[in-house]
Amino acid sequence: MSLRNENALLSKDDDDVVIRVEHVSKKFSKSLNRSMIYGLSDIARNVFSVSSKPDRLRKGEFWAVNDVSFEVKKGECLGIIGPNGAGKTTLLSMLNGIYMPDKGKITIKGKTGALIAVGAGFHPMLTGRENIYINGAILGLRKKEIDKKFDDIIEFADIGEFIDSPVKFYSTGMFVRLGFSIAINISPEVLLIDEVLSVGDLSFQNKSLRRLAELREKTNAVVFVTHKLEHMRSICDRVLVLDQGTNIHCGDIDEGIIKYQEVIREKKLREQKVTQQVDNKGLIYRSSGEIVIGNYGLLDNFGNEINAANFADDLTLFFEFELKSIIKELIFNVAIFNQKNVKCMADWSNDERNKMDRKYEFTNFQKGKYRLILNYKNPRLTPDIYQANFAIRNPLTGETYAKIKKMRPFVIKGDVSHRGIVKADPSWKLKPL
């Protein structure tokens, strides 16, 4: 049977450990009806002391969190990152006691304050003032204690006259400000925060980050879920990376961010490939019939087809096509886009607008099949998913014989942190004016 010992006293050897999570797992059912049936069944089994077999998945169930272990020591801030559906909020909910783990054990020393969702615990028909007292009581504070902290909560939330309005009329930003203000002003010993700082305006985000820095000196531990990697770097000491409910990294922040970005790229690459295989909507192909584009992709140094290249290596693309008739001259156009559809590189084999730049001329084509190879020397594209557009044109008339957009995606791999399209390594200089 799974256990949770909240506020338990740890042994003297573990005085510095505030949060200990040991092989914790939590499962859910995809069907609401089935979930209710399983819940009633588990309650009945527990009443009659019959094992509910928590280590097994029943029909329609899945592991939201699966065998996760970590520790947070006194004074530490642990960041948690992962793609959507990785189990971050479920894990935080178990730390806060909202869910019981199906397997494993969670031990926490100290009073917990949590902000797990925007407006969580707020009653929409009650005013902001009333919700402050209700939330404070839920968190274990007496009315006198809430009275002392009330002005600080109002001042930080900055919702002014709306404090006596029903919270159902609050904007998302007002919800966040009030909820965050309550969570940080109750002086928790353990603070749990789930992806809420990205909702408020920039001024509130900065004020919240400053307060978090102050709280780190006062609280025993902070667990912070965010997708903003710069916040992770500046606030956290270590990072836990989750993927599909499992722990794939716990430790150094830069290493964890690289792991996280690899997971995101692989997931998006799979999604893009499936989309093109299922309905081919991502692929835009046009041909006049005189030229037909065939196979295309990346090549390694030995000429083998690949779907990924390493950062700072040469990037070699190939495009195969077939000419149905004799053509005097051709020019080729290639553009490379990242997953945000930003054009990163664009090149012409022979720029017809600049006669001085005609280094490559391709003339006197006979009928038949050809392979064009385009090599970029150390392009230094940062790790990401990329797609290419390719076109074949007549430089004399401007005709387009064939073009293809959003080709099969490829990956640039590496341990370079995601901070731009190209890693340029500039020099920096500051001088007074």
CA distance 380 to 416: 10
The SS3 assignment for 73 reads strand
Two tokens, residue 430: 């500051």
The model's pLDDT over 81-115, given as tens digits with 9 standing for 90+, comes to 999 889 998 999 899 888 889 899 999 987 777 66
Residue 288 confidence (pLDDT) above 50:
yes
Domain boundaries, the chain: 3-249, 284-413
Residue 330 — very low, low, confident or very high, per pLDDT cuts 50/70/90?
A: very high
Specify the amino acid at residue 206: N
Identity at 199, one-letter amino acid code: V
Q: Is the pLDDT of residue 220 over 50?
A: yes
pLDDT digits (tens, 9 = 90+) for 135-192: 888 777 889 989 999 999 988 888 888 999 998 888 877 887 888 888 778 777 888 8
In terms of C-beta density within 10 A (0-12 exposed, 13-18 middle, 19 or more buried), how is residue 53 classed?
A: exposed
**Residue whose entry in the numeric block shows the structure tokens 């991502």:** 282
Judge whether residue 408 has pLDDT over 50: yes
CB 418 within 8 A of CB 370: no
Nearest to 353 by CA among 389, 399, 398, 404: 398
Instruction: Specify the pLDDT at position 5.
Output: 41
Q: Is 3-249's fold the same as 284-413's?
A: no
How high is the pLDDT of residue 200?
62
Residue 76's H or E segment, with its range, is strand 76-81
Q: Are strands 284-287 and 400-405 parallel, antiparallel or unpaired?
A: antiparallel
Q: Is the separation of the CB atoms in 348 and 333 below 8 Å?
A: yes
Kind plus residue range of the DSSP H or E element containing 291: strand 291-299
Question: Which 3-state string (H, E, C) describes 361-392?
Answer: CEEEECCEEEEEEEEECCCCECCEEEEEEEEE
Q: Quick one: tokens of 170?
A: 């609050």
Question: Does the structure show a pLDDT above 70 at 244?
Answer: yes
Rounded to 5°, angle at Cα 23 from 18 and 25: 110
Q: What is the pLDDT, as a whole number, of residue 199?
A: 60
- Give the span between the Cα atoms of 241 and 108, in whole angstroms: 21
Find tokens 């004074």 and name the residue: 75
Whole-angstrom distance, CA of residue 327 vs CA of residue 308: 34
How far is Cα 307 from Cα 430, in angstroms, rounded to an integer?
42
Give tens-digit pLDDT for 25-38.
999 887 777 777 77
| pLDDT value, residue 357 | 55
Judged against a pLDDT cut of 90, whether residue 45 lies above it is answered with no
- DSSP-derived secondary structure for 197-245: TTTS-HHHHHHHHHHHHHHHHHSSEEEEE-S-HHHHHHH-SEEEEEETT
Query: Using CA atoms, how far apart are residues 141 and 101, in angstroms rounded to an integer?
Result: 27
| pLDDT one-digit tens code per residue, 299-315 | 999 999 998 999 989 99
Q: pLDDT band for position 218 (50/70/90)?
A: confident
Q: Which residue did the predictor score with more confidence, 426 or 2?
A: 426
- What CATH number was assigned to the domain covering residues 3-249? 3.40.50.300
3 state SS of 249: strand
Mean per-residue pLDDT, 250-255: 92
400 or 2: which carries more pLDDT confidence?
400
State both tokens at 69.
């272990």
pTM for this entry: 0.75
**Range scoring the smallest mean pLDDT among 20-24, 173-177, 405-409, 428-432:** 173-177
Average pLDDT over the chain, rounded to whole?
Answer: 83
Q: Write out pLDDT tens, residues 48-59.
A: 666 666 677 888
pLDDT of residue 215: 77
Least confident among 102-111, 225-234, 324-333, 414-423: 414-423
Q: In this structure, which amino acid lies at residue 269? A: L
Query: Which spans in 219-361 are helix H?
Result: 229-235, 253-278
Whether the CA torsion 358, 360, 366, 369 is positive or negative: it is: negative
d(CA 48, CA 107): 27
Which CATH class name applies to 284-413? mainly beta
Q: What is the pLDDT of residue 1?
A: 37
